[in-house]
Chains A and B, each alone.
Chain A
Amino acid sequence: MADEALFLLLHNEMVAGLYRAAEQGEGENGRCTTKLESMGFRVGQGLIERFTKDTARFKDELDIMKFICKDFWTTVFKKQIDNLRTNHQGIYVLQDNKFRLLTQISAGKQYLEHAPKYLAFTCGLIRGGLSNLGIKSIVTAEVSSMPACKFQVMIQKM
């Protein structure tokens, strides 16, 4: 029953801690985003396993993406994805207009250059979740104005 605030604080501290260590030369420079993303990947894999234990088989890729947007996002971030777009050829864009991990940082363009740090973990989370559902993907995120952000998922054909 860990409170939401606890996860938020832990996540922010992880971001801060990793970058702090990189500055002091203890980690490898410029690899922080990769580390955060891979942490998110492991967590996503584990979470999706626990979460879909008892759910029915997914019909197709779109069904899986809808699951991510509704149930998965609600469990992790207490709200659904606001908008899902796809070109039906393996590219999906998930839009969250009030992304939980960014709401406390700014409401607009201030600190925009720092936003990617706070999105890396979540990109990994999505990629990990999809990976354990049998989908290989590349997930990136973009922010133009906080706290809204878009996650782009590119399905890789195996």
Chain B
Amino acid sequence: MSRQAGRGTESKKMNSELFTLTYGALVTQLCKDYENDEDVNKQLDKMGYNIGVRLIEDFLARSSVGRCHDFRETADVIAKIAFKMYLGITPSITNWSPGGDEFSLILENNPLVDFVELPDNHSSLIYSNLLCGVLRGALEMVQMAVDVKFVQDTLKGDSVTEIRMKFLRRIEDNLPAGEE
């Protein structure tokens, strides 16, 4: 068996494949459980949201990034630190709206869709919708309400994957009833 040097990078690659394969199995199972793509999309978004609200804690603990002062800083942190840390890619930030409250993340390659092909009868499935939920959930925990959606997807034939993020409003710091 090859020793340490090879094993290190290989095991990192294997881990991303573990995640990719698990995600694929999940989407397949959801497609079996729910008849239409819309329900699957919604379920993926909900699960992503639940993951996001926990992921943000892990992220903040590991990265020791301070509070972002505006949406541009948030965009930078998401693309350059968060995506790099969890998915090993650095999407580029483009298409800022004139008001500075909307931008696009362009992913040259999306690790979630390695080995994936969308069959014809699932054309309205947003395969990576989990990501939208994760981003939405994570940002909600840092007091930002955002709208996240895919506008381009390599699985559907586009050249890149594009995620559009729009800042809706700042969430006020009140504890929901029943907490604490």
Query: In the complex, which residues of chain B have a beta carbon less than 8 angstroms from the beta carbon of A21?
Result: 33, 43
Helix, strand, loop or mixed for chain A's interface? helix
A75 touches B87 (CB 8 A): no
What string of 1s and 0s marks CB contacts (under 8 Å) between A11-27 and chain B? 10110111001000011
- A76 to B12, alpha carbons, bound, how many Å? 10
Task: Report yes or no: B111 in contact with A10, Cβ–Cβ below 8 A.
Answer: no
Q: Which of A3, A9, A40, A50 contacts B17 (CB 8 A)?
A: A50
Complex partner residue of A26 from B1, B21, B22, B34, CB under 8 angstroms: B34
B29 touches A4 (CB 8 A): no
Inter-chain contact B87/A1, CB cutoff 8 Å: yes
Residues of B near A133 (CB, < 8 A) are none
Assembly CA distance A9 to B14 (angstroms):
17
B150 interface contact, C-beta 8 A:
no
Of the stretches B49-57, B98-106, B117-125, the one at the interface is B49-57
Q: Is the CB of B17 within 8 A of A47?
A: yes
The one of B18, B24, B25 in contact with A76, judged by C-beta atoms closer than 8 angstroms, is B18
* Number of A-B residue pairs at CB separation under 8 A: 96
Q: Is B11 an interface residue (CB 8 A)?
A: yes
Say which residue of B19, B34, B47 sits within 8 Å of A7 (CB atoms). Answer: B19
**Are the C-beta atoms of A10 and B14 separated by less than 8 Å?**
no
B154 within 8 A of A: no
Interface string of B22-47 (1 = CB under 8 A from A): 11111011000110000000010011
Asked if B14 and A2 make an inter-chain contact with CB atoms under 8 angstroms apart, the answer reads no
Contact with B along A33-44 (1 / 0, CB 8 A): 001001110110
- What per-residue 1/0 map shows which CB atoms of B133-174 lie under 8 Å from chain A? 000000000000000000000000000000000000000000
Tell me, rounded to whole Å, the shortest Cβ–Cβ distance linking A94 to chain B: 18
> Which residues of A in the span 39-74 have a Cβ within 8 Å of any Cβ on B?
39-40, 42-43, 46-47, 50-51, 55, 71, 74
Query: Across the two chains, which residue of chain B brings its CB closest to A41?
Result: B25
Distance, CA A105 to CA B124, complexed state (A): 37
Asked if A7 and B22 make an inter-chain contact with CB atoms under 8 angstroms apart, the answer reads: yes
With contacts A5-B58, A10-B26, A10-B51 taken as known, whether A75 is within 8 angstroms of B14 at the C-beta atoms is yes
Q: List 11 A-B contacts (CB under 8 A).
A: A1-B15, A2-B111, A3-B15, A3-B85, A5-B86, A13-B51, A27-B33, A39-B28, A43-B25, A51-B14, A75-B14
Interface residue ranges, A against B (CB under 8 Å):
1-7, 9-11, 13-14, 16-18, 21, 26-27, 35, 38-40, 42-43, 46-47, 50-51, 55, 71, 74-76
Q: Which residues of B contact A (CB under 8 A)?
A: 1, 11-26, 28-29, 33-34, 43, 46-47, 50-51, 54-55, 58, 85-88, 111, 115, 130
